[in-house]
Amino acid sequence: MVIVKAMGGLGNQLQQYALYRKLELIGKNVRLDTSWFHNKALQANIPAGRELELDYLDPLPYRAASEEEVRCVLGRMWEEPESAVSKVRRKLCPASAPFFVESGLYHEQVFSMERKYLVGYWACEKYYADILEVLREELSFPPCKDQELQKRNDAAAARMEETVSVSVHIRRGDYLDTVNRELFGGICTEAYYDRAIAYVKEHVPGARFYFFSDDIPYVEAHYRGKEVEIIDLNRGKNSFYDMMLMSHCRHNICANSTFSFWGARLNPHEGKIMVRPSIHKNTQVCVPEQMKALWEGWVLVTPQGDVV
């Protein structure tokens, strides 16, 4: 049995679910471990905490790992901290460990693993690029309980379908915190967005840009014009509907955020342009040939505003 750990926000949860489905579709006996969301101690370092937002969507066909199944795969490590000797042994012989922790952009070996507990975010497109059509069919958004909000979202989605629409996601909020700013800040710069928007205009005449952000005043101060519409509809637990609206746009400009990556991935329009930053975190170095192979079909733009 292979178990994929679910954790983080909705974008990360979708990536873990996507890896789970890919493993399942190639014949693996696989489970999704959602226990992280039910143990607040595991989220002690996360200011706002997280919920299992996969369950906000229409019911998904995943099999949740039971406590017994997790214990079976992890053995003693399920209930005991990893010892220093065990850590050394794992580094010298990774295959001997009952779990595998993501440490790079792409690990092809996960598809041949047995009896493993997989820990990571699995953002790389290559993991599940060949099943995205399946995922689009499975990942659907339920009607909003707020009927008035549902009408406004329906109207916005209709406008996006009727125009040469481009979603633009600007994430600030938690990315302005000290720790997050060091890891994620300075990547989606104004130069990044200026070049991304210019690139789309060069390839798609008459484009209309729909801005999504957790900092609406910032967007209002920096982006104006007849071709701009700021979407400020969904907040709190309804925020995930922004991903649905992004998927209705014909083209997508993403932040270094898995949330907007999935807005683009769920976009079914043929000939779509998907723009993302050349790196996701400041600890990464963009190797153009590698990134183009791992994110096939995406346009990569650097923080300096250069198309890779």
Q: Are 22 and 127 in contact (CB under 8 A)?
A: yes
Name beta bridge partners: 252: 167, 274
Among candidates 204, 192, 186, which has minimal Cα distance to 307? 192
Alpha helical stretches, state H, the chain: 10-25, 67-74, 84-92, 132-138, 147-162, 178-184, 190-203, 216-222, 241-248, 258-265, 288-294
Residue-level pLDDT at 39: 77
Which one-letter DSSP state was computed for residue 112? G
Read off the pLDDT of residues 64-87 as tens digits, 9 standing for 90 and up: 999 999 999 998 655 545 555 455
Q: Is the pLDDT of residue 135 over 80?
A: yes
Query: Tokens representing 139?
Result: 């990942």
Distances (CA, A) of 150 to 10, 16, 114, 130: 20, 28, 44, 32
Q: Which helix or strand (DSSP H or E) is residue 243 part of?
A: helix 241-248
Alpha-carbon 131 to chain mean position? 16
Query: Tokens representing 284?
Result: 């990464």
pLDDT over 70 percentage in the chain = 90
Q: What is the mean pLDDT of the chain?
A: 92
Amino acid at 138: E
Read off the pLDDT of residues 142-176 as tens digits, 9 standing for 90 and up: 999 999 999 999 999 999 999 999 999 999 988 88
Confidence (pTM): 0.92
Residue-level pLDDT at 88: 46
Q: Is the pLDDT of residue 40 over 70?
A: no
Read off the pLDDT of residues 172-198 as tens digits, 9 standing for 90 and up: 988 888 888 999 999 999 999 999 999
Nearest 5°: the CA angle 59, 64, 66 is 150
Residue-level pLDDT at 265: 98
Q: Are 198 and 191 in contact (CB under 8 A)?
A: no
Q: How many helices (H) and strands (E) does the chain have?
A: 11, 10
Q: What are phi and psi of 99, to 5 degrees?
A: -125, 160
CA distance 257 to 277: 9
